[in-house]
Amino acid sequence: MPKILARFYLMLCHEFTEPTRWLDAMVVGWEALGGPALQARGTFHVSLCGGSTPKALYQRLATLKWPWSATRLYLGDERWVTPDHKDSNYKMIQEAFHGTGVHIERVHSEIGTAEIGARAYEKQIRNDLGDPPRFDLILLGIGDDGHTSSLFPNTAALQEEKLLIAPNFVPKLGVWRVTSTYTLLRYARAIWFVTRGPAKEPYIRSLAQDDPKATFPAAKVRSDRGTVEIYHCTQP
């Protein structure tokens, strides 16, 4: 059984010592959210995070007997690279869900600048989900610097209030990203932080304690009408 670290507002933190139980719990959560969404609205809309941590979850989900034709996957953020680039979140997600036939809505980096790509992606999301667009589930990671999605410390997108999807230049990396903003995240019916390893534990503890002094980007994530949960595995 997971260890429940703390409950505050609408955040629940689960800690696991075994990767298998960590994955099992998220599969159960996926089914618990997806079933009612499909019954109520006919489609399960999910925004996914990139990076190495969630890949095992995606591969596990791909083995489920699930109504993938009624499920639509989106990218919570993307590197401004071609879809076949080794660093592309889309490439990783597409490979993980290979064989399911699920629709994955990607950021079209071939159409020009990150600003143009972000604008087009926001338009697609609004067309698919309505206005305001409310994802049934948004998955997020936490980076070693406390960033989430592509909301990095000391970047312009942290202050964005109007756009739902924003272009974001990350000076320390020297690259452009396209990212969900806090505004889009707040509309979500459910948000999960998917994390593992000791390097993330200081951030997890800060979130669990609702530290008012926390300034790292992940600490600013809220869902106005849904829940926020952390699924953390202590093993790297």
Measure CA of the first residue to CA of the last residue in the chain; give whole Å.
Answer: 19
> What pLDDT, on the 0 to 100 scale, is given for residue 67?
99
Domain that holds residue 162: 3-233
Beta bridge partners of 71: 44
Successive 10-residue mean pLDDT values, the chain, 236 residues: 44 94 98 98 98 97 99 98 97 98 96 96 98 98 98 98 98 98 98 97 92 95 90 96
Closest CA to 217 of 180, 171, 164, 167: 180
Q: How many CB atoms lie within 10 A of CB 215?
A: 10
Phi, psi for 111 (deg, rounded to 5): -90, -5
Residue 226, pLDDT score = 81
> What pLDDT was estimated at residue 10?
59
Q: In this predicted structure, what is the pLDDT of residue 200?
A: 96
CB atoms within 10 A of CB 212: 6
Alpha-carbon dihedral 229, 164, 218, 193, rounded to 10 degrees: 30
Q: In terms of C-beta distances under 8 Å and separation of at least 24 residues, what long-range contacts does 19-25 make, across chains too?
A: 19/56, 19/196, 19/233, 19/235, 22/196, 22/231, 22/232, 22/233, 23/56, 23/57, 23/60, 25/231
The long-range contacts involving 118-124, CB below 8 angstroms and separated by at least 24 positions, are 118/163, 118/165, 118/166, 118/167, 118/178, 118/179, 119/165, 121/165, 121/178, 122/163, 122/164, 122/165
CB atoms near residue 9 (< 10 Å): 10
Q: What is the pLDDT of residue 9?
A: 46
pTM of the model: 0.95
Domain count, the chain: 1
Whichever domain contains 175, its CATH number is 3.40.50.1360
3-state secondary structure the chain: CCEEEEEECCEEEEEECCHHHHHHHHHHHHHHHHHHHHHHHCCEEEEECCCCCCHHHHHHHCCCCCCHHHEEEEECEEECCCCCCCCCHHHHHHHHCCCCCCEEECCCHHHCCHHHHHHHHHHHHHHHHCCCCCCCEEEECCCCCCCECCECCCCHHHHCCCCCEEEEEECCCCEEEEEECHHHHHCCCEEEEEEECHHHHHHHHHHHCCCCCCCCHHHHCCCCCCEEEEEEECCC
